[in-house]
């Protein structure tokens, strides 16, 4: 049976409480592993549990604490904010990671959550950049013209992480590694001074923020071209004897995408349409379950070579599997592809746990497993279920849709924009529109233009908010002034989630929330994104994720206590014997250590 969420109900947000548990006197384990499956919605491991093996998700569900009521307490449910929150224990209002990208008024350029132009890749780029991005399609963003090279660094993260606390409590001796296919997913949970962070860019790379040369084991892994082993291998169904159609429906549902030359239906090629290994192959690899397998292989090498969990003080490993997200964006959460990837993820968990048993030892490690966000059903699928769902045109500044319509409304209301005079300084930056940038869910007004026209940004924002609230598919619109004043309903879940996503120095002039099951389809390079799906909303299908905790002292079974993924910071601190990070908003769940 397909589960549908009720986003309009006041979905649970745990009561905000500072982490107040006493610091454990001694660490409980030698290694803590944070496992993130990017875009693993909570209902997946519930409704598909009968099809799992005994040693993966089921082991964590039955031998560890399975928190079934786990929701993000903030609205901008995307990869950067999610990974920033997990080990800081803090919402974007504190971490400053308000989205994957936002508009930086100081530089008049896009700011990336986990990179700046100060650093370079290590080793230097030898192939076209193939770093996977979960917002590649659809991408409702019309950024400013100025874009900068953004290479990995945690410098934009404003809150300390559990990794920082471990380093402080062990005088730097406790090792910290962050590994993922995506740069931000490895960088943001791992603190300011980890021993290593690696992500996939056709091979595993780091940046000059961390070190000038890769670790020898990472370099050897790359030189062995282990990531090339899946070239030309078809992605066929993991369990061919299982009736996938009976569980999730047909293999070519309306609205499903084709990936990186992979097609809509099984089996999917993974060569990217190439005759030899290249950029498109690596994109196809990441957009298949094989990307997760590459990361697991790399993680095993890291654990072995760095002897994680075998030191006098405890270590921390953050491991984020990104392929689930890319697949979910392409084929949708109710597809055979997502079912297959979840079954394979179960096998990944079993493989990892067996490896930790053998290398670190049972009872000597703890695992926290969660996701950075959920995902919206394909609008085409939701409509078949009788739900109000559609793709809304974002369009461009000059075109139709929400963006073009907003620009026209502002010009009609506040006056046309005068063309620059011929004698004007040709080097001067001349405002040409009211909207500076629109990286959804934010709208940034052009403050230079407003100043020239003697208009107050708050007044213009209020007028545009009133206009947007009347547009098709828009549920709520908040202004910067309203959020800065905290003038929202304390009893409204969506209002509170948006407030926790707001940072006064980084958020836009407006925050737009679409109705449930609605997506913005952007127009980029002349292409209308008419397939696939997205996330980033405060609705339950995006906020509800699993939280599984496995480790000594944790009795097995379901927990009905309402929690958030942000509890992971306090849970990890308990196992490591460190302080909970300073900005953490939640302590240990009361039911974690129940007898």
Q: DSSP assignment of 126-162, as one string?
A: -S------TTSSS------S-----EE-STT--S--H
What pLDDT score was predicted for residue 527?
Answer: 42
- Cα distance between residue 477 and residue 122, in whole Å: 42
pLDDT at 520: 87
CATH of 31-90+159-379+540-576, one of 3.40.190.10, 3.40.50.2000, 3.30.390.50, 3.40.720.10: 3.40.720.10
Q: How far apart are CA 316 and CA 29, in angstroms?
A: 10
Whether 431 contacts 145, CB under 8 Å: no
Quote the Cα angle for 178-31-91, to 5°. 50
Q: Name residue, tokens 């989205």.
A: 99
Query: Which pLDDT does position 425 carry in this prediction?
Result: 54
pLDDT attached to residue 379? 94
Residue-wise pLDDT tens digits, 182-215: 999 999 999 999 999 999 999 999 999 999 999 9
Residue 429: burial class (beta carbons within 10 Å; 0-12, 13-18, 19+) = exposed
Q: Is the model's pTM score more than 0.85?
A: yes
Task: For residue 365, give the nearest of 28, 23, 24, 594 by alpha carbon.
Answer: 28
Domains of the chain by residue range: 31-90+159-379+540-576, 390-419+429-515
Distance in angstroms between the alpha carbons of the first and the last residue of the chain: 34
Residue 594 CA from chain centroid, whole number: 31
φ, ψ dihedrals at 235, nearest 5°? -85, 100
Question: Whole-angstrom Cα distance, residue 50 to residue 585?
Answer: 35
As a three-state string, the secondary structure of 332-363 is: CCCCHHHHHHHHHHHHHHHHHHHHHHHHCCCC
Which pLDDT score is estimated for 509? 98
Residue 237 CA to its chain's centroid (Å): 26
What is 390-419+429-515's CATH number, 3.30.450.40, 3.30.1360.150, 3.30.70.270, 2.60.120.10?
3.30.1360.150
- What DSSP state is assigned to residue 228? G
Q: Closest by alpha carbon to 442, among 141, 158, 81?
A: 141
Per-residue pLDDT at 147: 55
Q: Are 308 and 31 in contact (CB under 8 A)?
A: yes
Give the Cα separation of 338 and 360 in Å (integer).
Answer: 31
What pLDDT is attached to residue 14? Answer: 64
Closest CA to 292 of 254, 238, 346, 348: 348
Which pLDDT score, from 0 to 100, does residue 148 have?
61
Burial class (CB in 10 A: 0-12, 13-18, 19+), 136: middle
Q: Residue 418: helix, strand or coil by DSSP?
A: coil
User: Pick from 49, 26, 53, 15: which is nearest to 553 by CA?
Assistant: 26
Which residues of the chain are under the pLDDT cut of 70? 1-25, 126-148, 420-430, 522-529, 595
Dist CA 405 CA 74 (whole Å): 28
How far, in Å, CA of 553 to CA of 592, rounded? 9
């Amino acid at each position: 049976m397909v589960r549908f969420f009720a986003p309009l109900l006041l979905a649970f947000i745990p009561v905000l409480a500072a982490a107040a548990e006493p610091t454990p006197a001694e660490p409980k384990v030698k290694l803590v592993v944070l496992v993130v499956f990017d875009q693993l919605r909570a209902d997946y491991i519930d409704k598909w549990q009968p099809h799992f093996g005994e040693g993966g998700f089921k082991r964590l569900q039955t031998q560890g604490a399975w928190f079934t009521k786990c929701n993000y307490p903030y609205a901008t449910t995307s990869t950067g904010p999610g990974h920033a929150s997990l080990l800081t224990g803090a919402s974007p209002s504190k971490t400053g990671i308000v989205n994957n990208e936002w508009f930086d008024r100081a530089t008049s350029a896009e700011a990336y959550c986990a990179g700046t132009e100060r650093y370079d890749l290590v080793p230097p780029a030898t192939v076209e950049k193939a770093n996977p991005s979960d917002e590649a399609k659809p991408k409702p963003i019309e950024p400013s013209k100025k874009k900068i090279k953004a290479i990995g660094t945690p410098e934009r993260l404003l809150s300390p992480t559990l990794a920082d606390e471990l380093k402080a409590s062990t005088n730097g001796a406790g090792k910290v590694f962050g590994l993922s296919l995506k740069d931000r997913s490895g960088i943001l949970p791992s603190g300011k001074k980890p021993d290593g962070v690696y992500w996939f860019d056709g091979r595993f790379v780091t940046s000059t923020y961390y070190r000038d040369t890769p670790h020898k084991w990472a370099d050897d892994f790359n030189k062995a071209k282990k990531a090339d082993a899946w070239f030309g291998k078809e992605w066929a169904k993991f369990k061919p004897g299982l009736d996938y159609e009976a569980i999730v429906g047909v293999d070519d549902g309306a609205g499903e995408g084709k990936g990186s030359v992979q097609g809509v239906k099984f089996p999917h090629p993974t060569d990217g349409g190439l005759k030899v290994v290249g950029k498109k192959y690596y994109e196809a690899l990441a957009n298949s379950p094989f990307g997760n397998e590459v990361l697991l292989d790399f993680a095993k090498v890291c654990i072995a070579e760095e002897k994680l969990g075998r030191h006098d003080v405890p270590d921390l490993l953050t491991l984020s599997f990104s392929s689930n997200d890319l697949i979910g964006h392409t084929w949708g959460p109710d597809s055979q592809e997502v079912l297959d990837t979840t079954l394979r993820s179960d096998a990944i968990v079993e493989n990892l746990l067996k490896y930790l048993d053998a290398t670190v030892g049972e009872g000597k490690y703890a695992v926290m497993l969660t996701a950075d966000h959920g995902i919206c059903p394909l609008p085409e699928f939701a409509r078949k279920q009788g739900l109000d769902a559609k793709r809304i045109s974002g369009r461009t500044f000059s075109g139709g849709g929400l963006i073009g319509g907003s620009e026209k409304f502002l010009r009609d209301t506040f006056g046309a924009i005068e063309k620059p005079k011929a004698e004007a300084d040709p080097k001067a930056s001349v405002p040409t529109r009211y909207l500076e940038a629109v990286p959804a869910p934010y709208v940034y007004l052009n403050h230079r233009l407003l100043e020239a026209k003697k208009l107050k940004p708050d007044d213009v924002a209020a007028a545009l908010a009133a206009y947007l609230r009347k547009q098709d598919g828009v549920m709520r619109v908040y202004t910067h002034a309203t959020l800065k004043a905290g003038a929202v309903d304390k009893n409204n879940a969506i209002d509170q989630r948006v407030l926790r996503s707001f940072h006064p120095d980084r958020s836009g002039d407006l925050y737009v929330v679409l109705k449930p099951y609605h997506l913005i389809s952007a127009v980029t390079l002349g292409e209308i994104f008419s397939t696939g799906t997205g996330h980033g909303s405060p609705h339950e299908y995006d906020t509800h994720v699993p939280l599984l905790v496995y480790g000594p002292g944790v009795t097995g079974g379901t927990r009905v206590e309402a929690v958030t993924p942000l509890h992971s910071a306090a849970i990890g601190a308990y196992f490591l014997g460190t302080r909970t990070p300073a900005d953490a908003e939640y302590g240990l769940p009361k039911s974690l250590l129940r007898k």
